[in-house]
Amino acid sequence: MSKAPVAVVGIGQTKHVAARHDVSIAGLLREAALRALADAELTFADIDAVVIGKAPDFFEGVMMPELYLADALGAVGKPMLRVHTAGSVGGSTALVASNLVAARVHRTVLTVAFEKQSESNAMWGLSLPIPFQQPLLAGAGGFFAPHVRAYMRRTGAPDHIGSLVAFKDRRNALKNPYAHLHEKDITLEKVRAAPMLWDPIRYSETCPSSDGAVAMVLTDTEGAARTPRPPAWLHGGAMRSEPTMFAGKDYVSPQAGKDCAADVYRQAGITDPRREIDAVEMYVPFSWYEPMWLENLGFAAEGEGWKLTEAGVTELDGDLPVNPSGGVLSTNPIGASGMIRFAEAALQVRGQAGEHQVEGARRALGHAYGGGAQFFSMWLVGADRPTT
C-alpha cells in the first residue's frame, strides 16, 4: 500500500522575541498551537496525536518536557512523541508527524516545536566540558567559523558575500511580523561595520537567541478537503545523518546533506531544483551558510553558490528567493528554527506568506541541519496534490 498524501492545513507561530517573560513554557507552545488550529479551523478535539520537538533539555532546564506539556497541548488521552535530533529537530519533528499520516496510523496530527532560550543560556548549554573530547567552548560559531573559512578558500569567494546575505535576510525579516529582529534602519555599511565575533563571522552575520514556538496541523486527503484555506501538500521528505567527525568528512558540503536533498528531489520528481523550486527556506544560522547550502542542495555547482548570492538571485524578488521570512539569521528559537523553515515553505505555496510572499510560488523547500553539520532534514511542499 502506498503512502497516504499529507497536507499542511494549519500553521501558527508566536512573535519571536529575545525573552517572553509574560508566558510559561506551556503558554508559549499553546499560543502557537492555538494559532495553527485556528488557521485550520479545528480544535484540539480534532487532533489524533501530538508530536513535539526541541533542542537539548538543558536549554530550559526541564527533562523530557513533553510530560509536563501534555495538558497544555491537548494531548491527554492521545499519543505524544518527543523528537530530538539537534538543530535539525524542528524539521525532523514535522517529518515524524507527517509519517503518522502517511502510514495511515492517524488522520490529523498536531506538531509543535519550540525553544524558550531566555530560560537559560544556550551558549553554556552547548559548552559542557566532555572528558577526552575536544572542548567546543566558544558556542556554535566557534565550531562553524573554520568551515566557512574553508569554503572561502576552496571557492575563492570574496569577503563581502556574508554581509550580503545578512543584509538581505534582515530586510526580509522587516516584512515578516513574526520575525525576532526588526532592524528598521539596517544598511549594508552597518552590517559590515559590526564587530568580528568568530573570524570571518561578524556579530551582524549571526543568528539571535530567541523565545518562540511554531505549530502545524497535518492531515490526510479527507482532512484537506474540509480545510478552509488552501493546503500545502507534502511532495517529499527525508532525514540523513552522518558522524560528527571522521577522517574524510567534508564539513563544507556534507554528504548527508547531498543525500538528503537527492532523496527529497527523487520523491518529488525534481530533476532541476534551481528551475523547479520557487522558494527556499534554508537553515542559515551564520550568513555564509547560504552560499554553502546553495551548493550542497544542488541549486548551484560546487564553487558557484556565492555567485548566486552576489548576483541577487536569492533576494525576495530574485529568481530563487532564499529565506523570504528572514530566516534563522532573524529568528532563532533553536528547537523551532527547523520547523519554522518547513512552515514558511508551506506558507509560500499556500499563498499565505503575506508581505514576504514569493509571487506565484508553487513548490518550496524547507531545510534544517544540526549537530556538527551532520543531521539533515528537509521537505518539499507544493500547491498541488502530488500525483504519485
Partner 1 sequence: MRDVAIVAFAQSRHARSTAEVSEVELLMPVLHEAFDQVELKASDIGFTCSGSSDYLAGRAFSFTMALDGVGAWPPISESHVEMDGAWALYEAWVKILTGEADTALVYSYGKSSPGDVREVLTRQLDPYYVAPLWPDPVALAALQARALIDAGHTSEPELAGVAARSRASARDNPYAQLTSVRDGGEYVVQPLRRQDCPPVGDGAAAIVLAAGDTARRLCARPAWIRGLDHRIEAHSLGVRDLTDSPSTRLAAERAGLFDAPVDTAELHAPFTSQEVVLRRALRLGDEVDVNPSGGPLAANPIMAAGLIRLGEAAARIHRGDSDRAVAHATSGPCLQQNLVAVLEGDVK
SS3 state of residue 48: coil
**What's the Cα-to-Cα distance from 272 to each of 262, 329, 331, rounded to whole Å?**
11, 27, 30
Q: Could you count the other beta carbons within 10 Å of the beta carbon of residue 183?
A: 17
- Contact between 135 and partner 1 (CB under 8 A)? no
List beta partners, residue 212: 115
- Contact between 2 and partner 1 (CB under 8 A)? yes
| Main-chain phi, psi angles of 249, to 5 degrees | -65, 135
d(CA 325, CA 59): 25
- Contact between 380 and partner 1 (CB under 8 A)? no
- Contact between 262 and partner 1 (CB under 8 A)? no
> Phi-psi bin for 249: left (phi > 0), alpha (psi -120 to 50), beta?
beta
- Going by the DSSP 8-state scheme, the letter that residue 315 receives in this structure is S
- Contact between 58 and partner 1 (CB under 8 A)? yes
Kindly state the cell numbers that stand for 170: 534582515
Span interacting with partner 1, options 37-45, 225-233, 239-247, 318-326, rule CB under 8 A: 239-247
Smallest separation, CB 101 to partner 1 (Å): 10
Is the dihedral angle over the CA atoms 119, 124, 127, 130 positive or is it negative?
Answer: negative
CB-nearer residue toward partner 1: 58 or 203? 58
- Contact between 219 and partner 1 (CB under 8 A)? no
Given 161, 201, 216, 238, the residue binding partner 1 (CB under 8 A)? 238
List beta partners, residue 17: 211
Asked whether the beta carbons of 231 and 350 are under 8 A apart, the reply is yes
Asked whether the beta carbons of 216 and 8 are under 8 A apart, the reply is yes
| Positions 316 through 375 that interact with partner 1 (CB under 8 A) | 371-372, 374-375
- Contact between 256 and partner 1 (CB under 8 A)? yes
**Residue span 91-130 as binding mask against partner 1, x where in contact by CB under 8 A, dash where not:** -x---x--xx-xxxx-------------------xx-x-x
Given 23, 34, 62, 186, the residue binding partner 1 (CB under 8 A)? 62
Span interacting with partner 1, options 28-36, 54-62, 154-162, 356-364, rule CB under 8 A: 54-62
For partner 1, the binding residues (CB under 8 A) are: 1-3, 24-25, 55-71, 75-86, 92, 96, 99-100, 102-105, 125-126, 128, 130, 238-246, 254-256, 259-260, 371-372, 374-375
